[in-house]
Every structure is written in structure tokens, then in C-alpha cells.
């Protein structure tokens, strides 16, 4: 199912938590929703899952407005909220059974679905424990299991790996990737590496507005606007480096940081300066000892787009 968000705005009093955002998520796509604290991620996800209504704008699934068809469409959505309120005095199995009933599943389909979820989310050894007795990571798995139990087409996961240890994160990541092949998945996270490893596409939101939308590669390209090269010469000299700024494909040259020797050369947007630098050095008899493309990390991009 495709999710289409059009001009969505949510105001809390005078504050715009979500400010006129529009985007689409297609079937089979895993969209990572990134943003600093208070950016509007959870608010957007609560609107998509019909938990709160927007001030203006619309959300539709396969062209059907979710607020006009909320009864039918809610059963097609699985939602893991940021703060899952689980019944602590129920066992995992009883809680999942209840979740299935609340999704109006057929009675005979419930126990097979519960068993499937226990298996899929790795809950086997703990399945008869009360939820109140579970560790944080296992509670998160139960939250994921309740989001998936009715086999929804759309999965909205608000920080699904919070509280999980590195092994569990890897397991949940591969589970989401597997699920994402057939479903439409949107997940929020603060862990940039996590999003990079799990998602096909990344949307960055800041102060309620979308500031970036694309694949990790596209975001890297867009944020810097240009590639950077770490360049070293046999001759060390400011003169050699500064003369590179005369080249048409070079925009800036700075001394390298983080203990590296050499120079960081920024390329003009859309250009590749490697050949020009190489020929220029050959003409002058300068010896290049290194010329390495440097990619900006997702962290750099995130900071650049969301810092005040």
C-alpha cells in the first residue's frame, strides 16, 4: 500500500509540531524518518496511524483518505508507538491474543498468528512470562509482535530499536528488512547508522519541516554539494596547495584535519577534479602521493541540515 502525505500540519496551541509536509512512501520501501528531538517525527506517525488528527492536510493509503475510512484502514496498519503501553500483568501470549482480538482477527486465526509472532520476534523462551517481568529489549519485541500480528500492509515503527542490545538490534534490523520487501515500512530512529543499514530512503525532518529526502548516497551528495578529496604531495608547501584553487573544478582547499597530513580539496558541484589536479601536478613536476575521495558521514549531513 502506498502512503501519501499531503500538506500535513499539526499545531499544538501556537506551536507547529508538523508544518506543511508532503511525501509518499511506496510498497516495498523502507523509509527512515530522522530528526532531532522534538522535530515532529512521533506527531507525524501518530497522525498516519489515526491516533491523532491533523490541523490540516491529509494522509491516504492507496488513494483512500485514512480519516474518511479509518475503520477499514486501521486494520491495514501496524504501529509500534514510541512509548508502548503494554499490560504488565498479562503474559506475552495472552497479550498478543488480546492484540489480535482488538484487530478483529478471526478466532481460529489468532493462535497460529500468536505462535508465528513468538517465533518471528524471538519471544519463545519468555513467552509465558508476565510482561512486567520482561527486560526492556523483550518488551520492545512484544511491541513489534503486536504491531505485526494482524499481518498489516503498512508498518509504522517509532524508534523500534530503542532499548535493544547490539545483537537484538541486528536481529530486529534483519527482521524489518525481511518484512519491508512486501510491506510499506516507515521507521524513526536517532541511530543514523541504523537507518543507513536498514532503509532504502531517508527523510530528515527539522522543526516540523522536511529538510532532506533521498537515498543515503543522494543525501551525501546534496549536503556537501560537492565531493572532497584528501590530497598529499611529496613537496609540502602552502604554495602547491593554494595554487590548486586556480583550477576550474576546485572550489576550496584547506589543510586536512583530524591529524591527517595533506589538504582537503573541495570540488565544484557536479564536477570531478581528480584528472585536472593530476594533469596540473604532472605539468609542474609535482609528485602526488595521495588523492583519496572522502565521503561525508551521515552524521555530518544530519548536523548540517538540523543545526540551529
Ligand X SMILES: Nc1ncnc2c1ncn2[C@@H]1O[C@H](COP(=O)(O)OP(=O)(O)OP(=O)(O)O)[C@@H](O)[C@H]1O
Instruction: Report the residue from 3, 25, 31, 35 that binds ligand X according to the rule CB under 6 A.
Output: 35
Q: Based on the shown chain and the rule CB under 6 A, indicate whether residue 206 belongs to the binding site for ligand X.
A: no
Return the number of the residue (24 or 82) whose C-beta is nearest ligand X: 82
Return the number of the residue (10 or 97) whose C-beta is nearest ligand X: 10
Q: Based on the shown chain and the rule CB under 6 A, indicate whether residue 41 belongs to the binding site for ligand X.
A: yes
Cβ within 8 Å of residue 71, ≥6 positions away: none
For residue 55 the three cell numbers come to 490541523
Q: Based on the shown chain and the rule CB under 6 A, indicate whether residue 113 belongs to the binding site for ligand X.
A: no
| CA dist., res. 249 & res. 270, Å (int) | 9
Return the number of the residue (41 or 139) whose C-beta is nearest ligand X: 41
Q: Based on the shown chain and the rule CB under 6 A, indicate whether residue 189 belongs to the binding site for ligand X.
A: no
**DSSP annotation string for 36-53:** -TTSSHHHHHHHHTTSS-
Return the number of the residue (153 or 158) whose C-beta is nearest ligand X: 158
Size of the site for ligand X (CB under 6 A): 11
Spacing of C-alpha 173 from chain mean position:
12
Q: Based on the shown chain and the rule CB under 6 A, indicate whether residue 204 belongs to the binding site for ligand X.
A: no
Residues 262 and 232: beta-carbon distance below 8 Å: yes
Eight-state DSSP code of residue 26? -
Q: Based on the shown chain and the rule CB under 6 A, indicate whether residue 40 belongs to the binding site for ligand X.
A: yes
Cβ 35 to ligand X shortest distance, Å: 5
**DSSP annotation string for 212-259:** EEE-HHHHHHHHHSS-EEEEEESS--HHHHHHGGGSTTEEEEEE--TT
Instruction: Report the residue from 31, 43, 229, 240 that binds ligand X according to the rule CB under 6 A.
Output: 43
Cβ 180 to ligand X shortest distance, Å: 21
Q: Where are the beta strands (DSSP E) in 118-158?
A: 154-158
Instruction: Report the residue from 3, 5, 39, 253 that binds ligand X according to the rule CB under 6 A.
Output: 39
Which residues lie near ligand X (CB under 6 A)?
12, 17, 35, 37-43, 82
Amino acid at each position: 500500500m502506498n502512503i501519501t502525505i499531503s500538506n500535513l500540519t499539526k499545531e499544538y496551541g501556537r506551536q507547529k509540531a508538523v508544518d506543511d509536509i508532503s511525501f509518499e512512501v511506496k510498497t516495498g520501501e523502507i523509509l527512515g524518518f530522522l530528526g532531532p528531538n522534538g522535530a515532529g517525527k512521533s506527531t507525524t506517525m501518530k497522525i498516519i496511524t489515526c491516533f491523532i488528527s491533523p490541523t490540516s492536510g491529509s494522509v491516504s493509503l492507496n488513494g483512500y483518505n485514512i480519516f474518511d475510512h479509518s475503520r477499514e484502514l486501521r486494520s491495514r496498519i501496524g504501529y509500534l508507538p514510541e512509548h508502548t503501553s503494554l499490560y504488565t500483568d498479562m503474559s506475552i501470549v495472552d497479550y498478543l491474543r488480546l492484540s489480535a482480538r482488538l484487530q478483529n482477527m478471526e478466532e481460529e486465526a489468532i493462535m497460529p498468528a500468536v505462535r508465528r509472532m513468538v517465533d518471528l520476534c524471538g519471544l519463545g523462551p519468555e513467552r509465558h512470562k508476565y510482561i512486567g517481568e520482561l527486560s526492556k529489549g523483550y518488551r520492545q519485541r512484544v511491541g513489534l509482535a503486536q504491531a505485526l500480528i494482524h499481518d498489516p500492509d503498512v508498518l509504522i515503527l517509532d524508534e523500534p530499536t530503542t532499548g535493544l542490545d547490539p545483537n537484538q538490534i541486528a536481529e530486529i534490523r534483519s527482521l524489518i528488512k525481511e518484512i519491508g520487501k512486501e510491506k510499506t515500512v516507515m521507521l524513526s530512529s536517532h541511530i543514523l547508522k541504523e537507518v543507513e543499514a536498514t532503509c532504502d530512503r531517508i527523510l530528515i525532518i527539522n522543526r516540523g519541516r522536511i529538510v532532506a529526502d533521498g537515498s543515503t548516497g543522494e543525501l551525501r551528495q546534496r549536503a556537501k554539494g560537492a565531493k572532497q578529496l584528501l590530497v598529499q604531495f611529496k613537496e609540502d608547501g602552502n604554495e602547491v596547495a593554494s595554487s590548486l584553487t586556480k583550477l576550474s573544478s576546485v572550489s576550496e582547499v584547506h589543510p586536512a584535519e583530524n591529524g591527517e597530513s595533506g589538504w582537503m580539496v573541495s570540488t565544484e558541484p557536479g564536477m570531478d577534479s581528480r584528472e585536472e589536479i593530476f594533469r596540473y601536478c604532472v605539468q609542474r613536476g609535482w609528485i602526488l602521493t595521495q588523492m583519496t575521495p572522502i565521503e561525508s558521514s551521515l552524521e555530518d549531513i544530519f548536523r548540517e541540515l538540523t543545526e540551529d
